[in-house]
Structure 1
Amino acid sequence: MTKRASKALILLAVVLVALNMRGSITVVPPLLGELTSDLGISRSTAGLLTSVPVLFFALAAPLSAWLGRRFGAGHAVLIGVVLILVGTVGRVLDGAPVLFLGTAVIGLGITIANILVPVVIKRDFGQQAGRVTGYFVATMALGATLTSALAVPVADRFAWRGALAIWAVLVPVALLGWWLHVTRHERREKAEAEAGTAAAGLATQTPAAGASHSDGYVWRLPLAWALALAFGSQSALFYSMTTWMPSILVDRAGLSAGVAGIALSIYQITGIPTALTVASLCRLRPSQGWIGATLATGWLVFILGLLFLPALWPLWAVVGGLAQGGGFTFILTLLVLRGSDEHAVRALGSMAQLIGYLIAAAGPFVAGWLAQSTGGWTAPGLLFVGLATTLGLMSLIAGRDETIEAPAR
């Protein structure tokens, strides 16, 4: 097989995994009304169904990085995809405790993929990593769009349990694609390295700076903290709005649950154009802070428009979609650009996702609590404005033309 063909197949595997990395979360918000009624849980408790996997994105980040060091990024991602499958099927088999437990398993699986798929991209695509990261994020947006748009129609036919579980049919396809084109490729390279004929791949490289010691050095770097806070602000905005945008539209614009679900799907799908283009924009200048500031402005327009001119919700859904799609690609591309090699990217990704997703996990829960406590969406709106402002400021710092290298041992 030629090197070009091999890279094309690895790209296909990346896309197949990405398709399964957001749908199990974004399928929940359009069904919150039915879930709360059937399970007898409050609005703020239901918001935890989005917060729980995001919390695992943070808490399991060190474990994910360790799995990458121990087994290789490709093999570890395979474990993550299996966990997504188990959680997606298992969480609908009983009541609320099982639902939350299965959602936590999904969160663990997605965390592994969140951290280590970018490592595979950096390792296997080199200078094309930014572009491939765009494809990765765009496909996540596509998966999120499909699930949010079809959640209510599927639930009308199969109830909410069927609407949550049906997306498990996509996961085995991703498992097969990843095993064929990444895991076996990584295994072959390891065998060649052990035979003395090659020394390529995360799991098989001769230990060098950053390859065999702790990733803890990044915690002392201001640039890494700026990346982490930008990551947290972007993620908190995305998951908070994904969770509560349908409810805001029902309350403020008087939409039905079905139309609010369509609005959420517009918000998801319009993230694809910016997900595909922002990585290229990041290559235009050595510094990328201006891109983050622009995206933060888009978030502000979306939030304020939704709260104060809700009748124009189609416009705000598009603006918000462009901001969220571009925001994820921007942050992930910065992680790839700021790291000098795949080991630095793994260290940065582990820290950024630990701190960032701790912030993000609080977003949907705190927004739901503020809405329930105040009886409206103004207080949550102020929270969202603060997050967008933080995103803009931290992006200006993280976007500086600097590269992080692992210290020599």
Structure 2
Amino acid sequence: MSRRASLLTILAVVLVALNLRGAIAAVPPVLEDLQAAVGLTTAQAALMTSLPVLLFALAAPLAARLGRRLGPGRAVLVGLALIGAGTLVRVVGGPLVLLLGTAVVGLGITVGNVLVPVVIKRDLPGHASRVTGFFTATLAVGAALTSALTVPVAQLLGWRAALALWVVLVPVAAVGWWRHVVRRERGPVAGPAPGAEHARYASQAPGPSHTPPPSARDDRFVWRLPIAWALAVALGCQSALYYSLTTWLPTILVDRAGVTHAVGGTAMALYQITAIPTALTIANVARLRPRQGWIGVLIGVAWTVLVAGLLLAPGAWPLWAVVGGLAQGAGFTYALTLIVLRGRDEHVVRALNAMGQLVGYTIGAAGPFAVGWLAQTTGGWTAPGLLLVGLAVALGASSLVAGRDVVVEPAPSRAT
């Protein structure tokens, strides 16, 4: 691939990434307005953040299957269409429609979560770690934009317009992705003739021996690998920490620091935007050494500092928001980079990513619920804080295994 084509592919990745967190991050700053207007219960309000994350887990295998059937590039276009449709649908009705639209958004984001790293590994193999950093940094940018601007837009136009506004990013991303990824994607959309898929795949192989064709692969082999489980747990702990703080940080600050909801939204934007430096740099740091477990330990320490700061010195919230932003930017990039580094080829990356997101985002979806339940049950934030510290410790421990210098080889082809 030429340098110009590589840069345009990176641009397409960035445009898609702008759509993969904003629809979730837009909700917490206006959650109280949304509850009052639609009549959501506390549990339903928690679902506004947890439901998409749960779908990241449950729909990850379906997203991987869609990628095998259509090709990852075309499948990501389907995901963008779902994000756009769900973003619009969820603001036109009551609680049921709101949750249904949120679920559709979650399905669309899942496709991007699973398959954009596959495209990065396939189309930019020499720069996969670096581009993964760009990808996760842009996730932070999208989340920061929506966190910072949703409240002002809601004050002018109402919460429905504030949540629907972000659909404008979808067609821009779809056009860029179509032009610079899909049009170069090899193979028909559907229905290859018998043996054609094998021949097409073999023609791409760099030598006499090659990875088994996708039609003869069994991705379930990764479920037997300890390192795959370590990757999944690390991603799960990181996700639970991120989505728990994304959901509850404004409320914690209102309760503990006595700030206004507008200031809580500002803290959320700071928490999101300061993820960019570490999201851009951690991937390159990880590539420098064969073992990366120590990075996960440091990320766990940073999460612990954030939680301790919110509990013990909430008035210094700008500092803790920055520490949390650095932790979450590093954590997501680190988890995705490990998946890319551990997989021998794009198909192993797809298998590891699907498993990692199924297990990881199941853990991640439980985080906001567990934190909210503990806060309501105990009447404070100490017990939720201890849970979050436990997740940070588990992140560091699982990283020591996931960061070992091991490359997962493709599964053998199935007998035909």
Q: Is the 8 A contact 2:187 2:200 kept in 1?
A: no
Structure 1 residue 59 corresponds to structure 2 residue 58 = yes
Correspondence 1:175-324 to 2 at 5 A? 175-187=174-186, 199-200=203-204, 208=212, 212-324=216-328
Structure 1 residue 107 corresponds to structure 2 residue 133 = no
Cα displacement (A) at 1:285: 1.1
Alignment match, 2:70: 71
Q: Aligned partners of 1:303 and 1:132: how far apart in 2?
A: 30
2:374 to 370, 373, 378: 370
Q: Is the 8 A contact 1:64 1:116 kept in 2?
A: yes
Q: Is the 8 A contact 1:189 1:200 kept in 2?
A: no
Letter paired with 1:273: P
Q: Aligned partners of 1:232 and 1:260: how far apart in 2?
A: 26
Deviations 1:141-195 (A, max 9, x none): 000000001111111011111110000011110011111111111047999x989
Give ranges in structure 1 of 5+ residues lacking alignment.
none
Q: Aligned partners of 1:281 and 1:122: how far apart in 2?
A: 18
Change (3 A) 1:6 1:93: same
Q: Is the 8 A contact 2:219 2:411 kept in 1?
A: no
Q: Is the 8 A contact 2:217 2:411 kept in 1?
A: no
Q: Is the 8 A contact 1:16 1:174 kept in 2?
A: yes
Q: Name the SS of the counterpart of 1:41 in structure 2.
A: coil
Deviations 1:9-39 (A, max 9, x none): 1111100000010000000011111111112
Cα displacement (A) at 1:331: 0.2
Q: What root-mean-square deviation, in Å, do the aligned CA atoms of Structure 1 and Structure 2 show?
A: 1.9
Q: Is the 8 A contact 1:231 1:331 kept in 2?
A: yes
Change (3 A) 1:241 1:96: same
Give ranges in structure 2 of 5+ residues lacking alignment.
none
Q: Using structure 2 for the length normalisation, give the TM-score.
A: 0.94
Correspondence 1:33-48 to 2 at 5 A? 33-48=32-47
Cα displacement (A) at 1:274: 0.1
Q: Name the SS of the counterpart of 2:232 in structure 1.
A: helix
Letter paired with 2:356: A
Q: Is the 8 A contact 2:309 2:320 kept in 1?
A: yes
Cα displacement (A) at 1:209: 6.0
Change (3 A) 1:92 1:262: same
Correspondence 1:76-91 to 2 at 5 A? 76-91=75-90
Alignment match, 1:349: 353
Q: Name the SS of the counterpart of 1:334 in structure 2.
A: helix
Structure 1 residue 8 corresponds to structure 2 residue 12 = no
Q: Aligned partners of 2:278 and 2:372: how far apart in 1?
A: 28
Higher mean C-alpha displacement, 74-83 vs 208-217: 208-217
Q: Is the 8 A contact 2:68 2:214 kept in 1?
A: no
Alignment match, 1:360: 364
2:341 to 329, 337, 340: 337
Alignment match, 1:134: 133
Cα displacement (A) at 1:43: 2.6
Letter paired with 1:309: A
Q: Aligned partners of 1:400 and 1:184: how far apart in 2?
A: 37
Q: Aligned partners of 1:197 and 1:358: how far apart in 2?
A: 33
Cα displacement (A) at 1:86: 0.4
Alignment match, 2:391: 387
Aligned residues: 403
Cα displacement (A) at 1:45: 2.3
Cα displacement (A) at 1:395: 0.5
Q: Aligned partners of 1:105 and 1:181: how far apart in 2?
A: 26
